[in-house]
Amino acid sequence: MDGVGAEQQPVSVGRSAKAVLRQAEALLAAVRTVLSDHARVRADIEHALSPLRERLVARELDGIPVSRLKDVTGGRLRLGALEQAGYSTVRQVLDARPYALQQIPGIGAQSASQAISAARQIAGAVRDSVAVRIDIDATDDPRTTALVIALHRMVNAGPETARAVDSAERIAGELASLLPAARPARGRLRMLLTGQRRRRETQDAVARISGLVAESATREQHLLLAQASADLLRPPADPTEAWIDFELRSAEYYRLLGEIANMAPDAQASEGYLPTDISDQVRAQPLDDTHRRVSLRGYQAFGARFALARRRVIIGDEMGLGKTIQAIAALAHLKSQGLTHFLVVCPASVLINWIREIEARSALDAYRVHGPYRQAALEEWIEQGDVAVTTFDALHSLPIPDDVPLGMLVVDEAHYVKNPEARRARTVAEWTGRTAHVLFLTGTPMENRVEEFRNLVHYLQPGLVPHIRHGDAVAGSQAFRKAVAPAYLRRNQQDVLTELPELVQVDAWEEFTRSDLNAYRTAVDDGNFMAMRRAAYAEPADSAKLNRLLEIVGEAAENDLKVVVFSYFRDVLSTVHEALVSRAPGRAHGPTHGLTHGPITGSLTAVRRQELVDEFAAAPGHAVLLSQIQAGGVGLNMQAASIVVLCEPQVKPTMETQAVARAHRMGQVRHVQVHRLLTTDSIDQRMLEILSSKSRLFDAYARRSDVAESTPEAVDISEQSLARRIVEEEQLRLAVAGRNAPAGDEDLVT
């Protein structure tokens, strides 16, 4: 033996080493089980995906003329003989047997082999490019249903399973190399017979294994792995259950399908055409998901990493790409790094949405620092940490001590602070100096607003401002994005969403303004159900819902998207029409005079309704179509629109479903966003609470039936009973709220 005696070395042998190695082997068995279960579920998806992909490939090859075989063979193949024999498409050649081709005059064994080989090459290229799409109307197709069921298991395993698999891959990789190196530590004699260098390697391996096992125990990896295996081993879902879940959470299914089917968007486009050095820096940025409860698409993960790696930036993704989720992912990562306090500033119209999204998408607590309980919420946030959400108008008066460590400031709808002279802009500028991480979000494209963009960048990276030139914008959006890459990331829907246009549903929750609440209370006191439903539009100049609708339409205009606005009430549509054609001064977006079509109402003939839809579709770029939901929600195809706004929830679930289906149907090439305008603590909330318990049964048994399409009244609940129940509940609630209103809460008791 070389060196000094083993008894003089700090050798990791004996019971302690054996115990550590036994624990490591048990951990390795657990992670391999999870990886095996995950691989099996993924294989089931790929197996279900294969026939759908091959069907698409066959259709594509049916449309490719046999003459294209020349492109592969360099013109050496004699195609005339094939064409004369009736072979007109590449698919016919691909399906032919070599012997059959050899029977054609002029085609020998070599030519037949070349023709089939060329057809296979074309088929391979087509197979790599086709995108499998899930048609919501294909519930009777067993192949599509099999894919939805296979995806259902993985989707419902949730982000915790993805986290478990990532952890399992890391642990398996480390233990696979460490356990063999630690093998001599299983016995004292074996260690005594081991050379000094090998002994040190063994000791180091045992120490690293011990640390890995301890870390696993601290993070309760065994529980995470066991739960992941249980989720992955669940039996297949019933077809109806799987289809309903797909319709409710299509984005999760599409994300997974895109990952498994390799339908990834162009890498440069999904990274906003950033220069290579910045893209490399962003990709190298870790993204901890410990405090996150949602899986991210690839471009969304890149956006969160961009915010973290570049520290002070603007994410300007187009509507519907999940800017909020990217911001929450960045906050969750910083929380895992030990930062404690975060601040989100946004317009009052989206404050409730931020609260709900933070609570649903992360393990962070959200504090509503706005309204009558603002001070109490602020004090609790200062003490407990996590995310405070406030408005632009309230930000300047927040008494936050200087010693509160602000981990990140997120400013939503950042174009609100484009004017550096405005008070809100000066306040935001002051707050950006309190933290190293600042994230501005805006869906407004900055390419055509260079001066506004320079103002925003000045808050974040003032040194970049002199390098931002108007000529970069003139050169095109890609040139502009590369020029401002250190501070700006923008992606468009067509660049990053490659699957079937999905349906993105957004519940836009608003709070009553004082005028809204007065009108609502009057309607409740009168027991007027219909007046309660449209009270939010009674005073247009001070309507929270109308203001949010204008913001949605304004952002759609910025992105050149068409919008359909549905309401049950003609007077609501008249209010919306007037607001759209004559915007009040000071709105965030410009006027839309001349772009508004309709309204489509029940008094119009079918011919006139179709004419309005055709005019709307033919209008270049952005336009708005107004329609009564009962008049335009059935029979008319509005797939020119990619934004649908529902002014109020409907009593009959079928009415909303059919209205949305006017835009989200075959022929739609863009992703459809549905914005349902809702008011908290109102008839809207009561209606949703009552109807939600019935919606799943309705979806399961009625939505896709001919009866539901033709006679929705047959499956909807009684409007009279719903109205009576809600009126009584609201009268009681407001009476109690009035008695219990806190001092100073004037809005509640007015």
Output DSSP code: residue 600.
E
H-run or E-run covering 410: strand 406-411
Tokens 């989707």, residue? 155
Give the residue from 234, 216, 238, 235 showing the smallest Cα distance to 225: 216
Burial class (CB in 10 A: 0-12, 13-18, 19+), 716: buried
Three-class SS state of 183 = helix
Which distant-in-sequence residues (6+ apart) come within 8 Å of 262 by Cβ?
128
With CA atoms as reference, report the closest residue to 273 among 428, 483, 60: 483
Q: Which amino acid is at 199?
A: R
Q: What is the pLDDT at residue 698?
A: 38
The pLDDT score that the predictor gives to residue 436 is 94
pLDDT of residue 40: 92
Residues 6+ apart with CB under 8 A from 735: none
Backbone angles phi, psi at 26, to 5 degrees: -65, -40
Among 346, 347, 341, which residue's Cα sits nearest to residue 364?
A: 341
Q: What pLDDT score does 590 carry?
A: 43
Report the alpha-carbon distance of residue 525 to residue 56 in Å, rounded: 60
Q: Comparing 264-496 with 503-749, is the CATH topology the same?
A: yes
| Burial 402-423, CB ≥16 within 10 A → b, else e | eeeebbbbbbbbbbbbbeeeee
C-alpha torsion 11→16→22→27, nearest 10: -100
Beta carbons within 10 angstroms of residue 236's beta carbon: 13
Q: What is the pLDDT of residue 654?
A: 63
Q: How far apart are the first and last CA of the chain?
A: 92
Sheet order of strands, 438-441 included? 366-368, 386-391, 341-346, 406-411, 438-441, 312-315, 488-489
What tokens were used for 496?
A: 């990053």
Residues of the chain with pLDDT under 50: 1-12, 475, 500, 584-594, 635, 666-669, 695-717, 741-750
Is the Cβ–Cβ distance between 639 and 665 less than 8 Å? yes
Predicted pLDDT at 523: 92
One-character DSSP codes across 665-688: STT--S-EEEEEEEESSSHHHHHH
Distance from C-alpha of 34 to C-alpha of 697, rounded to nearest angstrom:
34
| Chain position carrying tokens 């080989």 | 117
344 DSSP β-pair partners = 389, 410
Closest CA to 340 of 411, 405, 398: 405
Per-residue pLDDT reduced to its tens digit, 5-60: 333 334 345 567 778 888 888 888 888 998 999 999 999 999 999 999 888 888 88
- Name the DSSP class of 292: B
**Beta carbons within 8 Å of 117's beta carbon, 6+ residues apart:** none
Other Cβ atoms within 10 Å of 154 Cβ, number: 23
Q: pLDDT tens digits, residue range 561-580?
A: 899 999 999 999 999 999 99
Question: So what's the pLDDT on residue 338?
Answer: 95
The residue ranges of every structural domain in the chain are: 1-263, 264-496, 503-749
3-state SS of 330-370 is HHHHHHHCCCCEEEEEECHHHHHHHHHHHHHHECCCEEECC
Report the relative pairing of strands 562-567 and 643-646 from DSSP bridges. parallel
Whole-number average pLDDT of the chain: 81
pLDDT of residue 693: 54
* Arch. (CATH architecture) of 503-749: 3-Layer(aba) Sandwich (3.40)
Instruction: Return the CATH fold of 264-496.
Output: Rossmann fold (3.40.50)
Residues 6+ apart with CB under 8 A from 6: 188, 191, 192, 199
471 contact partners, CB below 8 Å, separation of at least 6: none
Q: Looking at residue 749, what is its pLDDT?
A: 37
DSSP for 56-86, please give it: HHHHHHHTSBGGGHHHHHTT-S-HHHHHHTT
Q: What is the pLDDT of residue 499?
A: 53
Q: Tell me, what DSSP letter sits at residue 315? A: E
* Residues in contact with 334: Cβ distance below 8 Å, sequence separation at least 6, in sequence order: 308, 342, 407, 408, 437
Report the C-alpha gap between 281 and 232 in whole angstroms: 35
**pLDDT value at residue 478:** 63
Q: Please, which residues have CB within 8 angstroms of residue 159's CB and are 6 or more apart in sequence?
A: 289, 292, 293, 294, 295
